[in-house]
């Protein structure tokens, strides 16, 4: 397939220079269904990006679309702030019955503003309010959002620099295997906590991703996460798991921390929670932490009722019988076999891979090659993005609903792209 870049005049002349994805994918997209997007010139692209993890159930999922259309056609509430509505009630009941109760999770549900960074901001604010302390510990290569509080616990230097002001009250610690196994887990962290001369203010909370998506697909071991939870308990700190990209089934279980057997104090959820790509975010926390005053944290668009409708439909359709988790794990094994074959073809030199469920990354020692692979994949009809602090990782994030044949097709294109950029 030969793709001629379209005339992008209005985008180039009117839209801000801050735009990014459209630079790597020079097409004007017009339609999408399932695992494919179509541009206005008739080209078709297999999607291994899935709205940065916001489209776990694919584009225009027919079950969710039907529920949304029915709701709109009967003049259901669209905008409701935090008013009680039938759509919100249906979502809360489904979330409780399908997700929380079967996992014996005790959480209260808060609706902050409708994006991931809104959920993180509310989680940090609540942790500080509960503990009466300001400091938050995050981890190297973390990404938690683009608003100021979230940036303060984000590791990427480029994104942090965009704040334009000092980012305070956040302290980074080494993520799992940051020292290649040469330093015992949490040695530095606990030493600082116990040393009255360390200069580390007692943290209110620790925030962590079980798999660092933007940071390069860095996968925390289950035993590392369990040890982190134990450390938080010993040191009277709250544990916040940011499950915005890795939750909603991306790693297999609905929550990415399930495999480790931990129960975080606070969990942030967004991206695919609406199921349809509509903005929605949740902040979950243990009941004893619910010390908010009415209206103390709010947001005009926290009552996105169409998102409640599609979210409830997604939960009831895909999470009531346990099949989605099994399928995701099986698809993940399919990806792992393909990536191993690519590495073997390269002689095992200069490339490695890692992942869980349906999030995987291929890291290249020759860092610019990752971008070259993604560019070639686009020319061949596959959407991929890079991640990692120097964009050195090719990131695979296909819809969870992708078929085995579609997955094989994309992996063949990936293999060809790697081969042709050698």
Task: Give the list of residues 6+ apart from residue 252 with CB closer than 8 angstroms, or none.
Answer: 258, 259, 325, 328, 329, 332, 356, 357
Q: Give mean pLDDT, residues 349-353.
A: 94
Task: Give the list of residues 6+ apart from residue 35 with CB closer than 8 angstroms, or none.
Answer: 46, 47, 58, 59, 398, 399, 401, 402, 403, 406
196-216 pLDDT, tens digit per residue, is 999 999 999 999 999 999 999
Residue 171's pLDDT band, with cuts at 50, 70 and 90, is: very high
Decide if pLDDT at 263 tops 70: yes
Query: Which own/partner pairs from 22-27 qualify as long-range (CB within 8 Å, at least 24 positions apart)?
Result: 24/371, 24/374, 24/375, 24/378, 24/385, 25/378, 25/383, 27/3
Q: Give the C-alpha separation, 61 to 324, whole Å.
A: 15
- Sheet containing strand 205-208, strands side by side: 108-110, 282-285, 266-269, 238-242, 205-208, 136-139, 170-173
Residue 208: the pLDDT is 98
Do 382 and 308 contact (CB within 8 A), yes or no? Answer: no
Decide if pLDDT at 131 tops 80: yes
Do 215 and 155 contact (CB within 8 A), yes or no? Answer: yes
Residue 3: the pLDDT is 56
Decide if pLDDT at 5 tops 80: no
Please count the other Cβ atoms lying within 10 Å of the Cβ belonging to residue 398.
27
Q: Give the C-alpha separation, 421 to 141, whole Å.
A: 27
Decide if pLDDT at 2 tops 60: no
72-104 pLDDT, tens digit per residue, is 999 999 999 999 999 999 999 999 999 999 999
Residue 57: the pLDDT is 98
Q: Give the C-alpha separation, 110 to 46, whole Å.
A: 35
State the pTM of this model.
0.96
Phi, psi torsion values for 148, nearest 5 degrees: -60, -45
């Amino acid at each position: 397939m030969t793709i001629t870049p379209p005339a992008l005049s209005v985008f180039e002349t009117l839209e801000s220079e801050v735009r990014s994805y459209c630079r790597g994918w020079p097409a004007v997209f017009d339609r999408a269904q399932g695992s494919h997007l179509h541009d206005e010139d008739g080209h078709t692209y297999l999607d291994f990006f899935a709205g940065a993890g916001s489209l776990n159930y694919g584009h225009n999922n027919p079950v969710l679309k039907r529920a949304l259309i029915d709701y709109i056609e009967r003049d259901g509430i669209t905008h409701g702030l935090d008013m009680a509505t039938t759509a919100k009630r249906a979502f809360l009941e489904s979330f409780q019955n399908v997700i929380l109760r079967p996992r014996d999770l005790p959480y209260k549900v808060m609706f902050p503003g409708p994006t991931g960074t809104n959920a993180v901001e509310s989680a940090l604010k609540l942790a500080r309010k509960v503990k009466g302390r300001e400091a938050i510990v995050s981890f190297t290569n973390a990404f938690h959002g683009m608003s100021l509080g979230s940036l303060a616990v984000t590791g990427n230097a480029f994104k942090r620099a965009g704040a334009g002001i000092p980012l305070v009250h956040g302290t980074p610690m080494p993520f799992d295997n940051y020292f290649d196994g040469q330093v015992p887990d949490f040695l530095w962290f606990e030493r600082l906590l116990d040393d009255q001369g360390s200069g580390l203010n007692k943290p209110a909370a620790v925030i962590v991703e079980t798999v660092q998506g933007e940071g390069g697909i860095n996968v925390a071991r289950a035993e590392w996460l369990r040890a982190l939870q134990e450390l938080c308990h010993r040191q009277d700190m709250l544990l916040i798991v940011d499950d915005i990209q890795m939750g909603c089934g991306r790693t297999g279980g609905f929550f990415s921390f399930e495999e480790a057997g931990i129960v975080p104090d606070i969990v942030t959820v967004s991206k695919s929670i609406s199921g349809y790509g509509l903005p929605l975010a949740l902040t979950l926390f243990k009941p004893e932490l619910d010390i908010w005053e009415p209206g103390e944290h709010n947001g005009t668009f926290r009552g996105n009722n169409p998102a409640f409708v599609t979210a409830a439909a997604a939960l009831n359709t895909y999470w009531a019988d346990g099949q989605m988790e099994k399928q995701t794990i099986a698809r993940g094994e399919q990806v792992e076999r393909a990536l191993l074959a690519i590495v073997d073809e390269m002689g095992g030199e200069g490339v490695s891979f890692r992942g869980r469920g349906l999030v995987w990354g291929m890291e290249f020692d020759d860092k610019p090659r990752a971008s070259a692979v993604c560019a070639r994949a686009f020319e061949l009809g596959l959407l991929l993005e890079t991640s990692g602090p120097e964009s050195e990782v090719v990131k695979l994030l296909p819809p969870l609903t992708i078929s085995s044949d579609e997955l094989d097709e994309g992996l063949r294109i990936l293999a060809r792209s790697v081969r042709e950029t050698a």
